[in-house]
Structure 1
Amino acid sequence: MLDVDSQKPPKGKWSTPPFDPRFPNQNQTRNCYQNFLDYHRCVKRMNRRGKSTQPCEYYFRVFHSLCPMSWVRRWTEQIQNGTFAGKI
C-alpha cells in the first residue's frame, strides 16, 4: 500500500479521487461508504493513540468528493445518536 504522502495531490489541487482497485466499477456508492468508514476508524484509532489525525485527511477528502452531502449529514447524525449501522 502506498503511503499517504504519495497519494496527496499538490496543495490546492484535488479534482477527483485517485483510482481505487477495490472499486473498479462506475458505481462509486460502496467506495463512498467505505471511505467514510475508513475516515472515522482512522480518527478513532489516531485519537486513541494520541497521534495527529492528519493522515486521515485523505479519506475525508475522498468521501467528501464522492458522497452526496445529504448522506454524510445523515450518517454523521446517526453516529452522534448511536444508531449508525456501520462498525467504526
Structure 2
Amino acid sequence: MSEVRAQKPPPGKWWTPPFDPRFPNQNQTRNCYQNFLDYHRCQKTMKRRGKSAQPCEYYFRVYHSLCPISWVQRWNDQIKEGTFAGKI
C-alpha cells in the first residue's frame, strides 16, 4: 500500500480564499463572479493610471480558487468578443 502525502502550498500562496463578509452563504457563485469583475476592473484602472497591476493579483487568486474553469474561459471569450454582460 502506497503512502499518500498531502501537498502543501508554496509559501505565501493559499488554496482557499479568506472569508468575505459580503458573501456569508455557502453558495459562493456571487463571490466568484464579483471577484472576476473586480480583477478586470482593477487591471483596467491600473493600466489607465500607468501603475503595476500587482495589487490585482488578490482578485485573480480568489476567482481562480472559487470559479469553475469553464466559466472563466467562457467569460474571457465573451470579453474578447464584446458580449460579456458584466460591467468592467
CA RMSD after TM alignment: 1.2
1:12 Cα deviation after fit: 4.3
1:28 Cα deviation after fit: 0.1
Aligned residues: 79
Q: Which residue does 2:20 correspond to in 1?
A: 20
User: Which 4+ runs in 1 deviate beyond 4 A?
Assistant: none
Q: Rg larger in 1 or in 2?
A: 2
Q: Which residue does 1:56 correspond to in 2?
A: 56
In structure 1, what residue type is equivalent to 2:16? T
In structure 2, what residue type is equivalent to 1:77? D
CA distance in 1: counterparts of 2:30 and 2:20, whole angstroms: 11
Q: TM-score under structure 2 normalisation? A: 0.86
1:80 Cα deviation after fit: 0.3
CA distance in 2: counterparts of 1:21 and 1:81, whole angstroms: 33
CA distance in 2: counterparts of 1:13 and 1:61, whole angstroms: 9
Identity of aligned residues (%): 84
Give structure 2 stretches of 5+ with no counterpart.
1-9
Q: TM-score under structure 1 normalisation? A: 0.86
In structure 2, what residue type is equivalent to 1:15? W
1:36 aligns with 2:14: no
Give structure 1 stretches of 5+ with no counterpart.
1-9
In structure 2, what residue type is equivalent to 1:72? V
Q: Which has the higher helix share?
A: 1
